[in-house]
Structure 1
Amino acid sequence: MKSFAYLALIAVGVGSVIIVWPRRTEAASPAAVPHRPYDSALAAHEVNFNLARVRRDPGGAIGWRQLASAYLTEARQKEDPKLAIKAQQAAERSLSIRKARNAGAAILIADALLEQHRFEEAHQACETALAIEPGADAAERTMTDIDFELGRYDEAGQRIAAHPDWRKDPAGMALMARQAETYGHPDQAEMWLTQAVQTADADYELPATTVSWFHVKLGELQTRYGRYDQANKQLKQALALYPESWKALAAMARLCAKRRDNDGVLWYGKQLDEVAPMTDVVGLMEDAARTKGDESDADLYAKYVLKLNQSTIDLGVKPHTPAQLKNGHTHDRMFCLYLAEHGKMLDLAQHAATHELASRKDIYSYDTYAWVTFLWGKAKGSRIDVVEAKQSIDKALATGTKDPQILAHAKAIDDYLQNN
């Protein structure tokens, strides 16, 4: 799951806070003003420009910080954790040169670590930023995002309650939507995201890449809750704004899978592969090819999934951290679900789910652990494992979420226990 640090505007809610209702609006309208268009060469140009700058002045903290920011932008566009590591290293260099009035470098370290799914370390980097500049808004927002990713909903709620202004901007509206969905209010979530899209569309200062992100978030929500026509509209608008958006391409492939549009899955999956291949989407391509009777292609996609996750496979069931993986971070959640649902390497799938839950205890990690443990236990005929899956899915449901996937997993586990 990608963090909202992508926009550097973070706000999440918790069960103890009152859900704030957005103003009801109609479906988002097309952009009313022009936005700075996406330039595929710009991010690399910024990296090269700032590399030249630090070569001329290796002792300049600002230059290293700017280089870190450029690397991070490119990492997010390409979903490339190796670039995120470079961003982290450049920001660390900046901070080592000067700490005073350089909280921004610590925040960039946190953002780069978030890209690598190194959440606890990112949290520590935020603490460093706040020690340098107490109350720094960007650090508070990023720390809130990390708490949400880790399932620390109480801590996140305390921070959002202290910053009501966060809900006034589009990114804040998107995060209020996340809060609403987490606590079982998808209709409120859709209203918040619709409002965010409309606000972003009307803000000419926002670049097209950022505006596209809001359309993706609305389209993803609508996909989850079966509003496929509306989702299709939003995701196509996202791609019109940002044709190389891996987020939008992946979301379109997932939408096509929901609609049983196998050709669409394959088309968008191939487009995505040119930008940033994703484990779950390649798995959907395997399923689509098999459904179409293209067994040879399906087998190739199956091998590709394993190739994308070779570092995790090499480590096997040994304990590991994101930093130990050659690609810089884990895709354990996607990979273990793929393995479990395809009946492959179930011991590794179970380990990956266990590792994921050990590192982050949000509702989606509990759901993943529950589902993988259920399928593993069912395959072994182990009721003990299925009971453990039931305990985990109950934790996933604890916020009152109405997420259809979590509810479907809960029903399957309950049905099995009742009948066996």
Structure 2
Amino acid sequence: MKYLSMCIVLLFLSSCKTETENLLTNKDDYNKYLASSPSKTTSKYFELWNNKILPDSSQLMSFGIVGGEYNRYFQNTGDIQYLKKAEQVLEKAVNIAAIGQASYYRALARNYISQHRFREAAQLADSARTIKSGVDQTMGLMFDVNMELGNYDVAQKYLDSLKNMNDFAYLIRLSKWNDHKGDLDTTIRFMEKAKEKAEDAKDKGLRLWAYTNLADYYGHAGRIEDSYQHYLKALALDPGNAYAKKGIAWIVFSHEKKADEAMRILDSVTKNYKAPDYYLLKAEIADFMGDDLKSLSNFDTYFKMVRNPAYGDMYNAYNVSLYLDRTDQFDKALKLSRKEVGNRPTPESYSLLAYSHFKKGDKEKALEIVQKHIEGKTFEPAVLVYAAEIYKATGHVEKAQAIKTELFEAVYELGPSSTKSISKL
């Protein structure tokens, strides 16, 4: 009996130790950022330039400044209306510009990228390229667009044309390229160099970009403490930064399994920040908590938001995944995944198309898509989950098992609920 009691005590202590080892976050680190007030969506600077824009206005500088401010408001609030307002202003600037037209082409292209209008963005980037002004910025944009369109060979050529290890813009793209290739160590090394450049320049925007992206990469590499610290660095610069708070919420949820605390963080964010995908994460956390009512409520909020036509194709991929994994609307999934492949023919889009065919019962078509468009072309865990299931169902057991082994190392990225689905592969 003493032996049994001792075993129970040791088991309890071991459990407590493991739980403590997983705890990296501290409420005191981030609580001060959770009570942030709504972001300002006007200023004397904005009003000054906005008032110069009249129905027949041709004041080009006004359009550029106002468009930039609208984009900043979108970044700070997640409210799609500001991205669309920026689009309207920049389209007018493109139409009237005689001097500096390339810069307006690039700005509008980036706006289109944010809206997932990648083919239109590519056309604008090509128009900027013909003007021969701001050549490096245009080459960088061409790289970005071609990566989004899955034209990886073309993207690499543009990247090679930019080579400059002292340039922040080149380093972040070189980092993205190595992430695409699955070389995470090299990805992080170049992103750390980019961070140093941003800090040396004392540029707030570049530092925020570097901190949050590096935090993401650290998370992928299992360096959770480093990830956490860089999200905090971002919040120290910008206390209202929703993305950094979302990153901390993910660490709290996926690494520490503190679903209630993760939900508390996200609830504070969604009071003022309006991006639909935040409600999907809240629904996932509610599922993990076993709170069906809260999960359904957050899904309902998401679907109500994305019905807004202003979002266009921005949430196609999310919607396909929900049709496949949540609502079993396989016909809708197949139709929308075909559209998404047309918009953005990447391995990620093809994985949705393959899994849609799979769910519709066409296993051979699904396998054909995986072999042609996914196999050896991506290292994204969410894509590999679908591929492994298709491999297993079509008798390619060894390939499925190889992916399964990789996926167990990616549970942090996929979320704690993924363990069960991976085990079934």
TM-score normalized by the length of structure 2: 0.76
Helix, strand or coil for the counterpart of 1:54?
Answer: coil
Of the structure 1 ranges 290-299 and 145-154, higher mean CA displacement relative to structure 2 is found in: 290-299
1:226 and 2:222 matched = yes
1:81-136 per-residue CA deviation (whole Å, 9 max, x = no partner) reads: 33222222212222333323432222222122222111111122222223333563
Indicate if the aligned counterparts of 1:88 and 1:108 stay in contact, CA closer than 8 A: no
Tell me the equivalent position of 2:47.
Answer: 48
Indicate if the aligned counterparts of 1:224 and 1:403 stay in contact, CA closer than 8 A: no
Tell me the equivalent position of 1:174.
Answer: 172
- Shift of the 368–138 alpha-carbon distance from structure 1 to 2, 3 Å rule, reads same
Q: Aligned runs of 1:217-256 on 2, under 5 Å?
A: 217-256=213-252
- State the distance in 2 between where 1:231 and 1:338 align: 28
1:332 positional shift: 0.7
Q: Aligned runs of 1:334-413 on 2, under 5 Å?
A: 334-374=318-358, 376-377=359-360, 382=361, 384=362, 386-395=363-372, 397-398=374-375, 400-413=377-390
- Shift of the 401–298 alpha-carbon distance from structure 1 to 2, 3 Å rule, reads closer
Indicate if the aligned counterparts of 1:181 and 1:401 stay in contact, CA closer than 8 A: no
1:42 positional shift: 7.6
Indicate if the aligned counterparts of 1:81 and 1:329 stay in contact, CA closer than 8 A: no
1:315-367 per-residue CA deviation (whole Å, 9 max, x = no partner) reads: xxxxxxxxxx2335421112221332223433223322221111111222223
Tell me the equivalent position of 2:259.
Answer: 262
Indicate if the aligned counterparts of 1:253 and 1:281 stay in contact, CA closer than 8 A: no
Helix, strand or coil for the counterpart of 1:353?
Answer: helix
Helix, strand or coil for the counterpart of 1:151?
Answer: coil
1:289 to 286, 290, 310: 286
- Ranges in structure 1 where 5+ consecutive residues have no aligned partner: 1-37, 312-324
Of the structure 1 ranges 296-305 and 405-414, higher mean CA displacement relative to structure 2 is found in: 405-414
Helix, strand or coil for the counterpart of 1:41?
Answer: coil
Tell me the equivalent position of 2:400.
Answer: none
Of the structure 1 ranges 223-232 and 393-402, higher mean CA displacement relative to structure 2 is found in: 393-402
Task: Write the letter of the residue equivalent to 2:248.
Answer: M
TM-score normalized by the length of structure 1: 0.76
Tell me the equivalent position of 2:395.
Answer: 418
1:180 positional shift: 0.7
- State the distance in 2 between where 1:45 and 1:339 align: 45
1:81 and 2:63 matched = no
1:39 positional shift: 11
- Shift of the 396–196 alpha-carbon distance from structure 1 to 2, 3 Å rule, reads farther
1:241 positional shift: 2.0
Indicate if the aligned counterparts of 1:68 and 1:88 stay in contact, CA closer than 8 A: yes
Helix, strand or coil for the counterpart of 1:240?
Answer: helix
Q: Which has the higher contact order (CA 8 A, sep 6+)?
A: 1
Indicate if the aligned counterparts of 2:283 and 2:298 stay in contact, CA closer than 8 A: yes
- State the distance in 2 between where 1:290 and 1:365 align: 26
Tell me the equivalent position of 2:198.
Answer: 200
* Larger helix percent: 2
- State the distance in 1 between where 2:79 and 2:128 align: 25
Aligned residues: CA RMSD: 2.8
